[in-house]
Structure 1
Amino acid sequence: MSELATLARPYAAAVFKRAKETGSSEKWSKALAFLVSILSDSSLSAFINNPKVSNERLSELMLSISEGQIDTEGANFLKLLVQNRRLNLVPHIAKIFEEYKAEDEGYLDVDVYAAYDFSKEGRKVFSAKLEKRLGKKVNMNVTVDKSLIGGVLVRAGDKVIDGSVKGQLQHMQKALQ
């Protein structure tokens, strides 16, 4: 996973730089999300990963599928990925691009795993506390995970805040060993 992210980072940085230059971050965000969605199809994935399929044929297929969804720059980027046999990096490129975009716009995407769902008011209060602690506006994606037993687990970029009962029990177990 980290190897793929390492390979994807220069592509994401180049796309983000170009998006900043042209003021087209939202367009690139939508184009990358579209590519991620079509590449998640298992039959297309088998075709892409087939070494007998030529780059030209793969490029033609991808461009025909993407027609009307990506512009000329997006098509050129897609051709580059096909030429370098890096289509498998698209989900990682999109994720890193969104991280760059969020940082640039002054907000942070935060994944919150909670043992129970938040109430409307609880979500607002927790979001405000996270914003204060992280020093940025946050965009919370909440997932209910009953295995946490209680509390929350927060992933904000490279930071992890584990306030779950499960995490505390695991920490106690390690301390006792």
Structure 2
Amino acid sequence: MPYTSVLARRYAHGLLGVVRTGGRLPETSQELHRFLDLFTENANFREAMLNPAYSARERRELLDQVAPQLNLSSETTNFLRLLIEKRRMENIGEMVEAFDELYRQEAGIIRAEVVVAEDVSPELENRVTQVVQKISGKTPEVLVQKDPSIIGGMKIRMGNTILDASIKTKLERLREKLIEPSTAS
């Protein structure tokens, strides 16, 4: 695991410990994402937060200006202040990702990435959600992605488990079976 990933998890664990007692896990995740959106989409803001030419005090003042606009709680704002003080703001994306992962574990939520060739109906998405819940025993957070290269069917990825029912994979397996006997003779 890379150093920044270990670092991101350490900071995320710390924040989780602070907000867990108040039951503010979903709200904190949303607040972090609002801040991250501003950080990634606004080049001037990102530059000001990362540029060592600005003092920590100036960066904290900038944070204090945007915190009310982003509706950030004191816990989230204090966490971001800590990142400014420790010069860790460049890792904010990884920290938000690590926090979300810990939050999902804590809340019994599993992320399921579903890859399909074409747009899916809400009914099919609901059926996939039910299947994922039945298999995992957790509340699924389903993310649907379109990839025409799979031709048809779908792939479902839940953590380290991949269920591949794509036509592309079935054709590849069929091809391997057809080629295998001819290479053995």
Task: Provide the TM-score with structure 1 as the length reference.
Answer: 0.83
Structural mapping, 1:1-177, within 5 Å: 2-40=2-40, 41-68=42-69, 69-167=71-169
RMSD value, Cα: 2.6
Could you tell me how far 1:130 is from its partner in structure 2?
A: 1.7
Structure of higher CA gyration radius: 2
Using the TM superposition, give the Cα deviation of residue 58 of structure 1 relative to its aligned residue in structure 2, in angstroms. Answer: 1.4
Give structure 2 stretches of 5+ with no counterpart: 181-185
Inter-CA distance 161–86: structure 2 relative to 1 (3 Å threshold): farther
Matched to 2:38, the amino acid is: I
In structure 2, do the counterparts of structure 1 residues 11 and 134 end up closer, same or farther at CA, with 3 Å as the change threshold?
same
Listed as ranges, the gaps of 5+ residues in structure 1 are none
Structure 2 distance, partners of 1:115, 1:53, is 48
C-alpha contact (below 8 Å) 1:35/1:90 kept by paired residues: no
CA distance in 2, matches of 1:163, 1:2: 33
Closer/same/farther in 2, CA of residues 143 and 81 from structure 1, 3 Å limit: same
CA change 1:121–1:71 in 2 (3 A) is: closer
- CA 1:146 to 1:98, structure 2 compared with 1: closer, same or farther past 3 Å? same
Amino acid at match of 1:31: E
Pairwise CA distance, 1:3:
4.3
- On the 8 A contact 2:112/2:132 being kept in 1, the answer is no
| Contact 1:99-1:108 at 8 Å conserved across structures | no
Greater than 6 Å deviation, 4+ residue runs: 169-173
Name whichever of 38-47 and 161-170 sits farther off: 161-170
1:102 positional shift: 2.1
Identity of aligned residues (%): 26
**Matches of 1:2 and 1:162, distance apart in 2:** 29
Contact conserved, 1:153 with 1:161, CA < 8 A, in 2? yes
**Count of aligned pairs:** 175
Helix, strand or coil at the partner of 1:111: strand
